[in-house]
Amino acid sequence: MKLLLAPFAELGALSRLFGETVFWGIRPPYRGRLLVEAMEFIGIGSIFIVSLTALFVGGVLALQLVDGFRDFGAENQTGAVIGLALAREVGPVFAALMVTSRAGSAMTTELGSMRVTNQIDALVTMAVSPVQYLVFPRVVAGFVMVPVLTMLFNVVGVFGAFFVAVTLLGLDPGVFMDRLKWLVDWDDVSQGLIKAMVFGVAVTLIACRHGFYAQGGAAGVGRATNRAVVQSAIAILMLDYLVTSIVLGEGLF
Amino acid sequence: MKLFKSKLMRLTRPALPPEVKDDPIHVRIRDVHKSYGDHHVLKGVSLDIHRGKTNLVIGPSGSGKTVLMRQLIRLERPDSGQLLVNGIDFAKLEGLDLAAMRRTFGMVFQMSALFDSMTVFDNVAFPLREHTDLSRNEVHDRVMDRLAGLGVAGAARKLPAQLSGGMQKRVAVARAMILESEILIYDEPTTGLDPITTEMVDDLIVEAEEMFGVTSIVISHDMASVVRIADYLSFLHHGEIAASGTREELLNSEHPATREFVRASRISLD
């Protein structure tokens, strides 16, 4: 019974932390420096890993699609389908997964270490809300920077696909870009950005929640980090379906 | 515009009426209970904390000392009972009132709990930057003054990990006292320290009390190390105060568990 109720308890804990984050976030003092630091950590720090994965994801998509489309002479649509896939799905999901693996795990470990060494308690005793000081800047940074990284993923992904499809597999560059521009419009990109914002809040909140309530010394911090990464990955894929069904207006129930 | 007003809305400690300032009892803990599931840890703890004195709460491991400390500073909320600090029931406060009231307390944790990513200077300056509108120079002067007073000015640019246990304790006291809190709580201040550092920490508690005129609450199981500095002692046993009084009264207590604890600690009034 306890096992069945565990996901709901987890959802409750996350909702409560989200409520506290909003409660404390709208109250002064406003710590701009902490927000900039968190944005730098999540955003700037993830540029390399996001670009690298985008390059290869774009490239492998081009390999598969050119190969598949050639069977029925539709390889000219490769740019269009890759653009659509990146903008709507692959960009936001991969960017969020990369942020989870790089920044989310580090956030859980940092907050977890602060918890087990009483540094979070010390903040409380100094009349500083740890949610306001530690969680709010990270969640806002996730909300802002995951969409930015998604755009980066889209651009680099298209570049990777273009390189493989045009340079290596001999597709016409004009046709590749023309079909991409023809099929992908702003609605597709914005759909991806909406998802990225939701993912950004979700992964930072999950990372902070597990670090914030970590217990049991170094081993406990390790377990918390492990749980945070697994839950974040699951949350990204579940939220992806949920947001897609809401945006498209079908398939929810 | 709101951004620029934010500093004006920082938390300030409630002002005290004169009759409260003269009350010799700083904190009245009354019938405090705390349970975790079926485990009843605090079973109606009542004790007085004397203003401007060193109040020692001792007890064996598992007696509920740390739980009591966590209720006292409201890291947790008691299930029932009162925590009357300057006549205000700390146990009932919530939100911003609770946060403001916390400024009455300074806390020195067992492992010092200094922010490991900040230098010693930034650790001590942290409460000032958070709660005052002092200029950069004023913050610098006040922090260096406090660090010098506690003999650790030379460590200002070091990280906490580069300091010895005793020095970390001094920095923790400097941070806890930088906002001139009225009450300083020490959680197991001498646990795990060598005898010389232990004596140094004991002296530090007395020093802080004399220097800043604070009320000290020392929570410890190490009776032998801290009893010489205590003005008032309370013995916590199985979640209840078994004996309480001056050092002499407690050391001569007839309560069996207290007598056994005193005997095992190998201390006497001499």
For residue range A126-181, what is the model confidence (pLDDT) as tens digits?
Answer: 888 999 999 999 999 999 999 999 999 999 999 999 999 999 998 899 999 999 88
ipTM summary value: 0.82
Q: Which residue of B has its CA nearest to A117?
A: B113
* Of the partner residues B5, B11, B109, the one whose CB lies closest to the CB of residue A122: B109
What confidence score (pLDDT) does residue B9 get? 43
Query: Using CA atoms, how far apart are residues A241 and A5, in angstroms rounded to an integer?
Result: 23
Look at A127 and B131 and tell me if their CB atoms are within 8 Å: yes
More confident residue, B254 or A216: A216
CA nearest neighbour of B34 among B250, B236, B245 = B236
Asked if pLDDT for residue B5 goes beyond 70, the answer is no
Asked if pLDDT for residue A90 goes beyond 70, the answer is yes
Interface list for chain B against chain A, based on CB atoms closer than 8 Å = 2-3, 5-7, 9-11, 73, 75, 96, 99-100, 102-103, 105-107, 109-111, 113-116, 126-127, 130-131, 175, 179
User: Percent of chain A, pLDDT > 90?
Assistant: 77
Query: Using CA atoms, how far apart are residues A53 and A59, in angstroms rounded to an integer?
Result: 10
What confidence score (pLDDT) does residue B196 get? 75
Report phi then psi at B233, rounded to 5. Answer: -125, 145
* Of the partner residues B5, B105, B131, the one whose CB lies closest to the CB of residue A125: B105
Query: Using CA atoms, how far apart are residues A135 and A150, in angstroms rounded to an integer?
Result: 22
Question: Is some CB atom of chain B closer than 8 A to the CB atom of A101?
Answer: no
More confident residue, A172 or B201: A172
CA nearest neighbour of B177 among B115, B127, B217 = B127
Look at A118 and B111 and tell me if their CB atoms are within 8 Å: yes
Asked if pLDDT for residue A209 goes beyond 50, the answer is yes
What confidence score (pLDDT) does residue B270 get? 55
Binned at pLDDT 50, 70 and 90, residue B6 comes out as very low
Query: Using CA atoms, how far apart are residues B25 and B27, in angstroms rounded to an integer?
Result: 6
Query: Considering only CB atoms, which chain B residues are within 8 Å of A27?
Result: 9, 96
Of the spans A116-125, B53-62, B194-203, B212-221, which averages the highest pLDDT?
A: A116-125
Q: Which segments of chain B are extended strands (E)?
A: 25-36, 39-50, 54-58, 80-85, 88-89, 105-108, 183-187, 215-220, 232-237, 240-246
Query: Using CA atoms, how far apart are residues A4 and A82, in angstroms rounded to an integer?
Result: 40
The type of residue at A100 is T
Instruction: Give yes or no for a contact between A84 and A61, defined as CB atoms under 8 angstroms apart.
Output: no
* Of the partner residues A30, A121, A128, the one whose CB lies closest to the CB of residue B113: A121
Q: How far is CA B162 from the centre of its chain?
A: 24
User: Percent of chain A, pLDDT > 70?
Assistant: 99
Of the spans B12-16, B107-111, B203-207, which averages the highest pLDDT?
A: B107-111
More confident residue, A82 or A250: A82
More confident residue, B7 or B49: B49
The 10s digit of each residue's pLDDT in B64-93 is 888 999 999 888 999 999 999 888 888 888
Q: Which residue of A has its CA nearest to B73?
A: A125
Query: Considering only CB atoms, which chain A residues are within 8 Å of B106?
Result: 125
Q: Partners of B32 in the beta sheet?
A: B45
Q: Partners of B82 in the beta sheet?
A: B30
Look at A30 and B3 and tell me if their CB atoms are within 8 Å: yes
Asked if pLDDT for residue B225 goes beyond 80, the answer is no
CA nearest neighbour of B3 among A142, A27, A138 = A27
Q: Which residue of A has its CA nearest to B127?
A: A126
Query: Considering only CB atoms, which chain B residues are within 8 Å of A28?
Result: 2, 5-7, 9-10
The type of residue at B147 is L
* Of the partner residues A27, A117, A127, the one whose CB lies closest to the CB of residue B103: A127
Look at B107 and A125 and tell me if their CB atoms are within 8 Å: yes
Asked if pLDDT for residue B4 goes beyond 70, the answer is no
